[in-house]
Amino acid sequence: MIEEQVVLVDPQGRELGLQEKMQAHRDGALHLAFSVLLYRDTDNGREFLMQQRALGKYHSGGLWTNTCCSHPRQGESMEQAGIRRLGEEMGISGVSKLEDIATFLYRAELDNQLVEHELDHILVACVSELGIEPNSSEVMGYRWWPQLELVQAVDSDPEQFTAWFPQVLARTLVR
């Protein structure tokens, strides 16, 4: 099995090197990440494609979050990485363009004694018809969540969402 690495960065996003993914999460090392959030506009308003992380994930299992998220590989653009992970996590192959709308830095102590310390790029796309076949080792559920209901759920019960998702949603709604 190939060792998965993350790209270490400074707070301005300048690359500092590579580190094995799990070690970076144990050390709390700042690294690049992305969060993809697909949406569709319906007669009843905007809906976001959300996933519930599989219980076996290395952290945040069972929590709701954006469509997919991960880390770019060295030399891979954020858009390439996002499209790759849409396929790997959600079994989605019909998205050919993602828009990088915002970047934010956060640090969160998680379960399993891991720390997310990421410079996270938010990648979005408006979609209509999608084939979705989630990878069961990554995703235990998914749904199209109406914007108003999602905002209310994040406000009233933030514990059901990943540590980074409220910031992803807030920056997506500003548009």
Q: What CATH number has the domain bearing residue 28?
A: 3.90.79.10
- What integer pLDDT is reported at residue 59 of this predicted model? 84
pLDDT in tens, 71-82: 999 999 999 999
The residue segments making up the domain with residue 49 are 5-173
Residue 159 appears among annotated catalytic residues: no
Q: Does 3 qualify as catalytic in the annotation?
A: no
For position 129, what pLDDT does the model report? 85
Angle CA(70)–CA(143)–CA(22) in degrees, nearest 5? 20
User: What average pLDDT does the segment 29-51 reach?
Assistant: 97
- List the binding residues for Mn(2+): 25, 31, 71, 116, 118
Residue ranges of the annotated binding site for Mg(2+) are 89
pLDDT of residue 48 exceeding 90? yes
Confidence (pLDDT) at 115: 92
The residues near 23 (Cβ < 8 Å, ≥ 6 apart) are 29
pLDDT at residue 132 greater than cutoff 90: yes
Number of folded domains that form the chain = 1
Q: What percent of the chain has pLDDT over 90?
A: 87
